[in-house]
Structure 1
């Protein structure tokens, strides 16, 4: 069984390219079904491939397990999904196999491969990916073991190290940058577009600075109401956004929209109404929620998720001892998984051995019953049954030993000794 990963992340691909391969949670099951159809070709070596898709702001990764690696199939499917050539995609992806794939999964779950070192959000996203793969019928024993081990390793890393201590989240980084632009955040009006986990975290961080007004614009008003109540703000319809954009000094957006929600024209009109008072905008979405051309406007300070990378890296150097400790925990986890995978690789052989022994037993028992029915002595029949079984079990070893040349005979003899002469040692 081969375990492999194909992916791209914030270190291998720019934001706009990553945006082409982002999957919302409700898109993953249909995507997995399409991926299954790619694997289920006439070539039976690619059938019954296990698969899961992990898609976050910083990465899209396909995890697979099967009798053979099928990275080229996945590469072409992903390139077609993103509307790019396989050659372009290949220049931005990483392909990892077996031990390297397991280590990568464990590092991702533990927050060591994130833009925010030690961030915990990725673990929940990984669990969501596993649930979707399982419901889509794409999660088998091998991938399930890989992910369950990754969750255990991540828990161990977070409890045994200080990897997450003093880490700066994207939300905290946005507040820090906003505070550099506005002298007093208590005098600002803040708009959050979306109501997901990332926006909720950002809203809580900004609410702690007591801005003058907070608004939540969301496609589903009920969900917006819940978040607005938590941060003592108002909820508004997403359709009201263009008309009300000028009211806000700070705009933080993170939705699952595949197209920008805030265009250049809307921001230009808002600036005109604001008489060019500055606007601070943070686009945490992948793909983008705010058109990139907005950044060129003189009175707008637009930051994307990649722009916040430098801020969130602060303090990382001081946690290198925790990183080294975490890597040791991950190494141990990788060894355990690879040992499990190696043992599981022998299961088909063990099943074949059991089936063969059952056939031998059935044949000898049938012969023994016939001899007993014909009136033969029980002891004689039992002796013949045991000899028959012994002969069948030793036949293959004897045949291999007799057929081998001088060089191979010594190695076969050692193997036979390990298998049949343990008690004699």
Structure 2
């Protein structure tokens, strides 16, 4: 299955390497803001004298803000440009982080996390749109993989850093670190990012423009399929973010520092997968890696279901299947992200935003279902495998769909 080439810029405004680094920085702020925070969740329960359910809401509201805001910031970047929208939304993130540092109650913490999600949402939409602005086809898939490679380092070490900071300086220091990260993104955007949005048109930010863009995307089965496949696979990582702290710390008995170190297994698996994909894409087309990745996801899904239902949870019985699942995601994402945006060069922000929304919404729904189930072990053993297997079934249908022509107007 070949992607349409679209218009290839002979002399791109930014190099592949530069786009990869800036894109990874923008994408990373979302998962890093979650991964840094997770070791502190049980401590925050004690600090505010509240319940686990209330603290879980800080993640749920973060997911909600992240998911919903993408639907706005993506088209806004199409209308007004990538750089100004990044600056505005990262300003929201910085303010929210400052509120979280000085929050006197869990209710205000929930609100600040919601604002953080809104601010961080700009990273996913804009980074992918920048790639589509400048590159397409296998070159785009290669950059998406490089972004994933660089991105895997941040979330890999973030739980470890969060756990160490929690024990050394308390949970407030975690939000101070997020505050600093927000300023770094603003500085890089100001001095290193080149504006790439083609044919900026403010009418695209109007309600009618938003409806026109998203209705076109939803009427394209090829796009909807890519969004669902990405959402159901990578969304499981967000789902696990809400339950793993309570599985590994409350049920298995890990300390926050041990939990942070233990998460290196999952992040290291994704890092390994992106390295393998990097070398494989030199020999085979990225589209051929998708079924292999989904097969690995299916293996991890079945292993997670079996191991958590046969024996009491242990670190290995939880993390080995989880790491297998994440390894498969690394094979799936580069091609599927490229395929989702290739037909829509003039509304890449909207396309990137909608795929990101599907990913976050899948994670949010998965986390909520786990919360409704009550037992985090049972929830993880049922919800995560179901999402992975459903993604594989959708791909079997999607691969037979006709590839749409490149759209020249939203």
TM-score of Structure 1 vs Structure 2, range by shorter chain: under 0.3
Mark the structure with the bigger radius of gyration.
Answer: 1
Normalization by structure 1: what TM-score?
Answer: 0.22
| Higher relative contact order (CA closer than 8 Å, sequence separation 6+) | 2
More strand by share: 1
